[in-house]
Amino acid sequence: MWRKIRRTGRVAEPAPERPAGDRPEAAVTLGGSVQVRHVDAGSCNGCEVEIGSAFGPVYDAERYGARLVASPRHADALLVTGPVTRNMAEPLRRTYDAVPGPKVVVAVGDCARDCGAFAGAYGLAGPVSEVVPVDVEIAGCPPRPEAIVEGLRKLTGR
C-alpha cells in the first residue's frame, strides 16, 4: 500500500520543487516497513552517532518498521548525511541508481540540507538535493535521535 508523504511538522520539511513528472515515485511512502541504506557523503560523523542512537536499544527505530541494510539493492530509502564532497558525488549518484524504485531519499542534518558549517568550502559539490532528489529533510546539527526516528516514522506510516 502506497501513501503520499506528508511534509509537515518541524522534522520533515518540504524538499525543493521539481519539474512535474520528474520523479513520480517521489510522492510515495513505504507502508509498514522501510529498508534503509545509510550513505555518508562527507559528514563530520556527528549525524552517524545520532543515527546509531536512533537504531540502538533506547530509541529503537526498528520497532517502527525501519531497518538498516548493507546493500542499496535491498533498500527502499537512502539516509544521506553530510554535505556531498566532490569525491562522493558520483558514488552517491550510483548508490541512488542502485536502489530499486520506488525510492525515497532522506537528508539528515543541516549539512545534508544546505552544507551547514561547511557552506562555501572548495571541496564540496553541494547539498544532497543538488546531487540526487531529496524527499524528506531532517533538521539539526546533529539532529536528535527522536527527530531521526520521527522522520523514519513518516516513511513507514507508523
Task: Tell which residue, 58, 60, 61, has the closest CA to residue 77.
Answer: 61
Which domains, and CATH codes, for the chain?
A: 31-156 (3.40.50.12280)
How many whole angstroms from its chain centre is CA 68?
12
Please report the pLDDT score of residue 116 as a whole number.
Answer: 87
Q: Percentage of the chain with pLDDT > 70?
A: 80
Structure confidence by residue, pLDDT tens digits, 23-33: 434 334 566 78
Between helices 46-54 and 145-156, what is the axis angle to 10°?
A: 60
Q: Which residues contact 75 (CB under 8 A, 6 or more apart)?
A: 35, 36, 37, 69, 99, 103
Q: What is the pLDDT of residue 20?
A: 37
pTM of the prediction? 0.77
Q: What is the pLDDT of residues 78-108, one digit of tens each?
A: 999 999 999 999 999 999 999 998 899 999 9
**How crowded is residue 8: how many other Cβ atoms within 10 Å of its Cβ?**
10
Q: What is the pLDDT of residues 103-140, one digit of tens each?
A: 999 999 999 999 988 988 899 999 999 999 999 999 99
What's the CA gap between 86 and 45, in Å, rounded? Answer: 18
Residue type, 128: V
